[in-house]
Structure 1
Amino acid sequence: MHSFNIGHRRVGPDQPPLVIAEMSGNHNQSLQRALAIVDAAAAAGAHALKLQTYTADTMTLDLTEGEFFIADPDSLWDGSSLYELYHKAHTPWAWHQPIFERARQRGLLVFSTPFDASSVDFLQRLDVPAYKIASFENTDLPLIRKVAATGKPMIISTGMASLAELECTVQTARAAGCRDLVLLKCTSTYPASPDNSNLLTIPHMRELFGCQVGLSDHSMGVGVAVAAVALGATVVEKHFTLDRSEGGVDAAFSLQPEELAALVTETERGWQALGRVHYGATAAEEASRRFRRSLYVVRDMAAGEVFDRDNVRAIRPGSGLAPGHLEAVLGRKARQPLKRGTPLAWSLLD
């Protein structure tokens, strides 16, 4: 597993996790809202903004019956046809350029998820620094080959993929020219629950495929993402909106600005806390050693007086002998008069 660059930013275990704000359809078909989402993502400290590049016609057929219609009371999109849903959620291709320009002006990496060959060709003209493959397309091997052939880094969500399917996807990407790869652990439910996130897959996937692994997270809050970083996630992607109460196709499981800011802060803290295997006091802890317990004279003693449990105790601070030496001290005599509050040292014992 190696670190690599996506645009101007290094991605890898030696860097804070890359936090990607996924706009998806949260622009609610307003370019001004889309640009406001860019600004809010940058203000919250996100490192990258991601779009989705498709049209309703590149995704499905304009039918409103059978499997083309969502009739599921547990779904956020119950009562919509697939065509209607994708038409409502898609980002018009004419908007990509102004969104990309605003993101770059704000210092954000910006790229997209293509859903077919035509969208890859379109994004190539925009000089995207990377490509994201959605979970529902991770078995679309022609699309995988098309994207891999660009030579750009690939980020692939693994939602629903079996191990055999994932093996085929990774082999296909590598054979077609992908060198820099991140697999994202993903649970394709909306929202996802923490108990269905199975984050222990992250280190297992990293070991199996020898690549960086991250998280595409549809759960609420930031707890799942922080846990993923503790397990080695180098990329975290979350859907983002200005205000969930304003609605939108993905609003219900999207972060708001203050939550995205917390995600950026807490995932970096989690990464910083990993550190290395270490025992004993750190340099920062050295000053705290004085607050350990140690052996002190707790009653004035005359020269020759025997140490016992009434005149010597383990108390704070830590300037005397370690408490573990108490049994070796008891029964010995004071070499000189000792005042209450004297830290014991071997030189004070006869």
Structure 2
Amino acid sequence: MNSKVIKLGDREISNFGRPYVIAEIGANHNGDMALAKSMIDSAVDNGADAVKFQSWSNTSLIAKEEYDRNQSYDDCKKKHFGSLFEMVDKYALSTEDHHELKRYCDEKGVAFCSTPFSETEADLLESLGVPFFKIASMDITNLRLLKHVAAKGLPVIISTGMSTMAEIDNAVAAIESTGNHQIVILHCISIYPPAMEDVNLANISMLMQAYDYPIGFSDHSIGSALPLASVALGSCLIEKHYTTDKDLPGWDHAISADPAELKVICDESRNIQIAMGSTKRVVSDAELAKKDKFRRSVVLTRDLQPGHVLQASDFTFKRPGTGIPPEMEMQVIGRTMKVAKGEDELLGWDDLG
């Protein structure tokens, strides 16, 4: 399950290494740059390594036929815009917005990244100096986009929601065909939120066996439990939708992590990774220091005089562990007492003939 080491900006990531946490703001900024910046601030404060947006326009993602079918919504959190076109148009980041958010992230010392949904948007992100590209699950079969992005020579992170193994193979091969072998594969379920029985976290281990690349987890579940569980399986990267308020109107706020949840994910994922340690059995110095206090020694069950031949009934085992250890019991039985010792006293080798 070892994998290549991939560098995302100044961070190296690998399976079972320190997890890289991406706060996926996506479109949760609702087209409001002040809200976007407050989300960046909050993500930084709660430990995210990167904040991610989505780069699309009202013409690059959705066809007229789909717009025509979605003129209104019953969902009260979408009613504030009415039609799908109005929402997409409002939520889309302009070129100027991209530059503004990149500058702000640089000031805050957090990586800025985004998911491009067309070649033009990938070119814009390249010009901004993003450390890597993230490809959404919906585009894992969009080999033209994958090759265009991969040819830029930056790491490519791909989500695998809705994908068969054959489709993942094809996507990886398309990226590799450009000479780019900096790939991170994310297990993902494209349901918002998924049912627990559909999450299949064991796919993380399967993907580690199938590919010589780091494997991570793009999570759409509610809460922090599943991202943390993925780290115990060796996930190198966690991508989690992020908002400062789950009750805001919009697409993804309700399934996003809030500040308290992001802090738990960032802090505890790093603790879990450290605690996973090694498969080699090691007793630490701190544990060794506990032996004398916690282990047991041979202790007499009654007063004994010199010349007494010891039997099993003459002793038991109690703390501390500074005397004869219990596993040496058979070397004590049949030995002769050299000195008198009292009930409940530890027996030492020097006491025996």
> Which segment drifts farther, 301-310 or 115-124?
301-310
Pairwise CA distance, 1:325? 2.9
Paired letter, 2:228: V
Separation (CA, whole Å) in 2 of partners of 1:60 and 1:245: 26
Separation (CA, whole Å) in 1 of partners of 2:138 and 2:224: 24
Separation (CA, whole Å) in 2 of partners of 1:50 and 1:118: 18
User: 1:263 maps to what in 2?
Assistant: 265
**Aligned-partner SS, 2:287:** helix
**What's the CA shift string for 1:117-173, capped at 9, x where partnerless?**
111111121111100000011110000000000000000001111011111100000
**Aligned-partner SS, 1:338:** coil
Residue 65 and residue 260 in structure 1: after superposition, are their counterparts in 2 closer, same or farther (change >3 A)? Answer: closer
User: 1:52 maps to what in 2?
Assistant: 54
Query: Does 1:116 pair with 2:118?
Result: yes
Matches within 5 A, 1:143-222: 143-222=145-224
**Aligned-partner SS, 2:320:** coil
Separation (CA, whole Å) in 1 of partners of 2:67 and 2:37: 35
> Which segment drifts farther, 176-185 or 83-92?
83-92
Match of 2:315 among 305, 312, 315: 312
User: 2:304 maps to what in 1?
Assistant: 301
The question of whether the paired residues in 1 share the 8 Å contact of 2:16 and 2:233 is answered with no
User: 2:97 maps to what in 1?
Assistant: 95
User: 1:326 maps to what in 2?
Assistant: 329
**What's the CA shift string for 1:178-222, capped at 9, x where partnerless?**
221100000000012333211111122122121011000011112
Separation (CA, whole Å) in 2 of partners of 1:243 and 1:40: 11
- Structure possessing the higher relative contact order (Cα contacts under 8 Å, 6 or more residues apart): 2
Separation (CA, whole Å) in 1 of partners of 2:50 and 2:308: 73
Match of 2:63 among 56, 61, 64: 61
The question of whether the paired residues in 1 share the 8 Å contact of 2:15 and 2:215 is answered with no
The question of whether the paired residues in 1 share the 8 Å contact of 2:137 and 2:161 is answered with yes
Pairwise CA distance, 1:62? 3.6
Pairwise CA distance, 1:326? 2.8
Paired letter, 1:320: G
Paired letter, 2:70: F
Separation (CA, whole Å) in 1 of partners of 2:180 and 2:317: 63
The question of whether the paired residues in 1 share the 8 Å contact of 2:189 and 2:199 is answered with yes
Pairwise CA distance, 1:104? 1.5
Identity over the aligned pairs, expressed in percent?
A: 32
The question of whether the paired residues in 2 share the 8 Å contact of 1:56 and 1:86 is answered with yes
Residue 63 and residue 83 in structure 1: after superposition, are their counterparts in 2 closer, same or farther (change >3 A)? Answer: farther
Paired letter, 1:69: N
Runs of 4+ in 1 over 4 A off after TM superposition: 63-66, 70-82
Pairwise CA distance, 1:91? 2.9
Separation (CA, whole Å) in 1 of partners of 2:123 and 2:67: 32
CA RMSD of aligned residues (A): 2.5
The question of whether the paired residues in 1 share the 8 Å contact of 2:77 and 2:250 is answered with no
Paired letter, 1:10: E
The question of whether the paired residues in 1 share the 8 Å contact of 2:217 and 2:230 is answered with yes
User: 1:273 maps to what in 2?
Assistant: 275
User: 2:234 maps to what in 1?
Assistant: 232
User: 1:107 maps to what in 2?
Assistant: 109
**Aligned-partner SS, 2:141:** coil
The question of whether the paired residues in 1 share the 8 Å contact of 2:309 and 2:337 is answered with yes
> Which segment drifts farther, 41-50 or 204-213?
204-213
Pairwise CA distance, 1:70? 9.2
User: 1:292 maps to what in 2?
Assistant: 295
User: 1:138 maps to what in 2?
Assistant: 140
Residue 281 and residue 73 in structure 1: after superposition, are their counterparts in 2 closer, same or farther (change >3 A)? Answer: farther
> Which segment drifts farther, 160-169 or 194-203?
194-203
Residue 341 and residue 16 in structure 1: after superposition, are their counterparts in 2 closer, same or farther (change >3 A)? Answer: same
Pairwise CA distance, 1:14? 6.7
**What's the CA shift string for 1:69-118, capped at 9, x where partnerless?**
39998998799765344334433332111111111211111111000111
Q: Which runs of 5+ in 2 are unaligned?
A: none
The question of whether the paired residues in 2 share the 8 Å contact of 1:24 and 1:89 is answered with no
> Which segment drifts farther, 100-109 or 149-158?
100-109
Q: How many residues align?
A: 349
Paired letter, 2:24: E
Pairwise CA distance, 1:308? 4.0
